Amino acid sequence: MINRVLGFDYGTRKIGVAVGQTITATATALETLLPVKNKPDWQRISQLVDEWKPDALIVGLPLDVDDTETDATAPAKRFSRQLEGRYRLPVLMTDERFTSFEARDRLGHKAKRIEEYDAMAAKLIIETWLSENS
């Protein structure tokens, strides 16, 4: 049974991270990770997995408005496979269309730093998954 999830808005320059609960059907933006030597910050991701002890990981699947893959789709799928291999947890992908736009819309000018948008997008990815799997 899935109770807690970590969600990721994967990008090659930044990865937004959020945590969600299936019991309350809520999610909270956590942080945005920057790459280390052009790779995901695996040390910090491991710390987050250890801290939150998720039952599954959710990764946003970048798709175009016509349901076709984008240039960002293959890297996101690769990141998902890497997560699964490293943490031996179920990795689920969910449509992330418009989450970045909605994150900017929700935060408006309230965001202190641009990185807050990525964590908010990860929160929205979890909320999308929760609404589709409730």
**115 has a pLDDT exceeding 60:** no
**126 has a pLDDT exceeding 60:** yes
What's the rounded Cα separation, in Å, for the pair 22 and 26? 7
What's the rounded Cα separation, in Å, for the pair 7 and 9? 7
Gyration radius (Cα) of the chain, Å: 14
CATH topology of domain 4-132: Nucleotidyltransferase; domain 5 (3.30.420)
**123 Cβ neighbours under 8 A, 6+ residues apart:** 7, 16, 18, 20, 27, 28, 29, 103
Q: What is the pLDDT of residues 83-93, one digit of tens each?
A: 999 999 999 99
Q: What is the pLDDT of residues 48-76, one digit of tens each?
A: 999 999 999 999 999 888 888 889 899 99
Quick one: average pLDDT of 80-105?
Answer: 85
Domain positions in the chain are 4-132
**69 Cβ neighbours under 8 A, 6+ residues apart:** 62, 63
**Is pTM beyond 0.95 here?**
no
Q: Which residue has the tokens 């990795």?
A: 91
Smallest CA-to-CA distance from 28 within 115, 125, 102, 108 is with 125
CA dihedral 26→91→94→73, nearest 10 degrees, is 140
pLDDT at position 104, please? 64
